[in-house]
Structure 1
């Protein structure tokens, strides 16, 4: 205190002592999708072909350009990131350029970001002195959203910079990638994950996180995710945060997963079979007032249609076509109420004309 009166400053002896542990804030919680993302190629499940190729690359073989395509949540991005971590080690962050092509989809991005990064040279040594492959990897996620001009510009860059750069294109629909790009890449289709594999991974996460659950809840989650492990993990974490220490039930999965109650979908389907417009209108108004997503209603309605053995194949094909048209119109911003009415009237027309005639 005397030193402060003389100099106006607090000396080191008078300063309050704080331990180093108090200065370090706790690490922020990670989303479970990132926390349990595969760290090595061996952690990737049910994609045997690409895993075997990547193991050969890690053993010393050359890395080709890759094109990964398939449904979302099947491990496309996680696979190439896990391989890159094993290839580059401590130099991982400097050797990877990851772009989401759905955001950066124009030709100017290819000319600026991609081309500039591809022209950089890479040494064959890591910062710690160990040997490292002398190339970089550019990951273009959602590549099917790129314009044709951007894809054409990327083709030239892939040709010129192949000595120092490898490309990995990731997409859901390979038909949206131009032929000159697909011919330069080794193509791999990622299959939806099997039900038992998804169930085992979810149960492992519940065990690690101390989450209590009913067996029916996990099975319902596996059913609604349809092989999309990322969606399943996200819904599981949302339920765990909401329930806390309580047990997760099947109803919790239905509520968090934005599922429409099966009884309501059945009621809608039966009203279509009746062919009574007032009844159809009443059910649709109830659905709109409850704010259920129309896309989910169409998905569950289609599943119910396919599993109904009393409906002929011809009627199923006609109704499925109407469902597809309704889904396309809803994605362009059409009115949910009008499109659902139109769909249900079309279904009723199929039942009244086709089914009764048979």
Structure 2
């Protein structure tokens, strides 16, 4: 399933204009664009028709693909602005993930019964919604306690579990939910949404800048919108260009990656040491260098045995970096393996 946040909707949030500070009026609070342009109703979230029936739900997939936005938009449309706060409990499980939270907050909220009509007289579901964001961060004991609560309170409450890794949710919970996988957003979908925001915010931009924004976000629309807002703040009077996006995203310029690999293929170890140290000294994150090198190396004219050896080393380096190892030593070790395997083909 692909979550697509529509940009053209009559109910989309209008650009906020700061009010005049004269006459004692306060300026409107600055709002992150990821919240400002979050869908407010189901019509603004496409390809999610199955969600409207609202059984217990499990949304999983990469960050920034619309999981939380989908359930919040559905809840707002079901209950309206008046009942939304009374009927919806949203918990971030990465902060509140222990068994005590399940026993106190979740259980007490789930036990309350509610009516099947809204304050404006329109019908609404006679149940509440509990949203557990980042549910894969919950402890095993908390997930086990939640299983029983979901079973007992099914008449008055629906649960929506949101996670990045469905494998970290225990089987008894997944079996009680309808599962929906959210894929990374396609480039054209991201581009359409970003262009819509640029139009509403009256931003100057280049075609290459938007393409770079889509490329560095890797299917994460939230990341793309955050980068766009950062670029707009840094380039208030100028055009948003490819270079400005690359600088904000911390992406290593392709030219530097290619130069480093050329030294691995044809240079000496002394030159390699200098090149790696220079890259680290410039402030580029080793994990970004690793990721971009992987993309380039896999396209190089190396045989399968050489690529597999390099890929295995990349996996080891990735694990070491995640564990806090020295970035310079890990990159130097990786480049040494690339140099060794490249020399075998020459």
Q: What TM-score, normalized to structure 1?
A: 0.87
Alpha-carbon distance, 1:275 to partner: 6.2
1:233 paired residue number: 225
1:17 paired residue number: none
1:96 paired residue number: 88
In terms of mean alpha carbon deviation, does 288-297 or 274-283 score higher? Answer: 274-283
Partners of 2:199 and 2:236 in 1: CA distance: 14
Alpha-carbon distance, 1:316 to partner: 2.0
2:313 paired residue number: 322
Partners of 2:111 and 2:144 in 1: CA distance: 18
1:169 to 161, 165, 185: 161
1:27-106 aligned at under 5 Å gives the runs 27-45=28-46, 48=47, 51-55=48-52, 57=53, 63-89=54-80, 90-106=82-98
In terms of mean alpha carbon deviation, does 81-90 or 344-353 score higher? Answer: 344-353
Evaluate the alpha carbon distance shift between residue 193 and residue 113 of structure 1 in structure 2; reply closer, same or farther with a 3 A threshold: same
**Does the CA contact (< 8 Å) of 1:66 and 1:167 recur in 2?**
yes
Partners of 1:261 and 1:152 in 2: CA distance: 47
Alpha-carbon distance, 1:293 to partner: 1.0
Partners of 2:267 and 2:129 in 1: CA distance: 58
2:280 to 276, 285, 288: 288
Partners of 1:227 and 1:322 in 2: CA distance: 26
Q: Is 1:138 equivalent to 2:135 in the alignment?
A: no
Q: Which stretches in structure 2 are left out of the alignment for 5+ residues? A: 1-21
**Does the CA contact (< 8 Å) of 1:138 and 1:167 recur in 2?**
yes
Partners of 1:113 and 1:142 in 2: CA distance: 17
Secondary structure at the residue paired with 2:129? strand
Alpha-carbon distance, 1:24 to partner: 4.0
Partners of 2:108 and 2:59 in 1: CA distance: 24
1:22 paired residue number: 23
1:268 to 245, 260, 272: 260
Q: Which stretches in structure 1 are left out of the alignment for 5+ residues? A: 1-20, 58-62
Partners of 1:251 and 1:314 in 2: CA distance: 37
In terms of mean alpha carbon deviation, does 315-324 or 81-90 score higher? Answer: 315-324
2:322 paired residue number: 331
Alpha-carbon distance, 1:196 to partner: 0.7
Q: What TM-score, normalized to structure 2?
A: 0.90
Give CA-to-partner distance per residue, 1:146-168, whole Å, 9 cap, x none. Answer: 11111111111111111111111
Secondary structure at the residue paired with 2:90? strand
Give CA-to-partner distance per residue, 1:81-119, whole Å, 9 cap, x none. Answer: 000001111201111111111121222221222122112
Give CA-to-partner distance per residue, 1:58-84, whole Å, 9 cap, x none. Answer: xxxxx2100111111100000000000
Partners of 1:306 and 1:194 in 2: CA distance: 22
Q: How many residues align?
A: 324
Alpha-carbon distance, 1:349 to partner: 2.4
Secondary structure at the residue paired with 2:112? coil
Secondary structure at the residue paired with 1:154? helix
Partners of 2:222 and 2:282 in 1: CA distance: 27
Alpha-carbon distance, 1:287 to partner: 1.2
How well do the aligned residues superpose, as a CA RMSD in angstroms? 1.6
Partners of 2:127 and 2:43 in 1: CA distance: 23
1:15 paired residue number: none
**Which is greater in Rg?**
1
1:5 paired residue number: none
